[in-house]
Copies of this chain bind each other. A is one copy, B any other.
Amino acid sequence: MSDIKQDTEKNILAAASRVFIRKGMGGTRMQEIADEAQINKSLLHYYYRSKQLLFEAVFKNTVAEFILIIKEIFNSEEDLRIKIPKIVQVYTDYLKKNPYIISFILRELQAEPKIILKIIEMVNIKSLYFFEQIKENISSGKIKPIKPEDLFVNILSLTIFPIVAKPIVKAALMQNDSEKYNDFLEERKKTICEFIFSSIY
């Protein structure tokens, strides 16, 4: 019974995630979520009381997953020559599979910027090993001086932006050809790294 309950509850959360992530808090109708989960609308309220609470559960979940990936990958102790390509690759693949996630997070964060504070507590970004690692590599002369924050932002910018801006990039540069766009992202896994390496080595 409590298995069934968990099933329904998770089913709702999963359905709500799919809809919320695609359409955002404002654009989503409770009925849509109910349809997506193939259940009655009242059940949504039974399990999550209100749209707002359901949304918050989805948002928290989504960000947590996203943060977890950052944490794991930026904390790895591999050499930067291995680690940076891995960051780029893992993020590209993840975002290609879940293309709406980043836009969703950014969109909702802009509507309600306070939420981010709680989330940032979850991971103290600056305490990631990556930041220490950059300083060490600079001290020992392995890479040219650069502010770790800049390098961090650069890696994420180069990787994430072309995916967030997919409709524009695809239409403006790829003749709106999905395969071309996809190849472009695949090739960028290499070119982004070359771009970064040529500036730090």
Residues of A within 8 Å of B, CB-based: how many? 50
Identical subunits present: 2
Select A107's contact among B107, B152, B171, beta carbons within 8 Å.
Answer: B107
Q: Does A164 lie within 8 Å of B167, measured CB to CB?
A: no
Select A156's contact among B147, B149, B161, B194, beta carbons within 8 Å.
Answer: B161
Bound complex: CA of A23 vs CA of B172, how far in Å? 26
Q: Name 29 interchain pairs, CB-CB below 8 A, sorted by A.
A: A23-B26, A23-B111, A24-B24, A24-B26, A26-B27, A27-B111, A103-B106, A105-B168, A113-B167, A116-B167, A116-B168, A116-B171, A117-B176, A120-B172, A120-B176, A125-B172, A126-B172, A147-B191, A149-B173, A150-B195, A153-B162, A153-B169, A153-B173, A154-B195, A157-B160, A157-B161, A158-B158, A160-B165, A161-B161
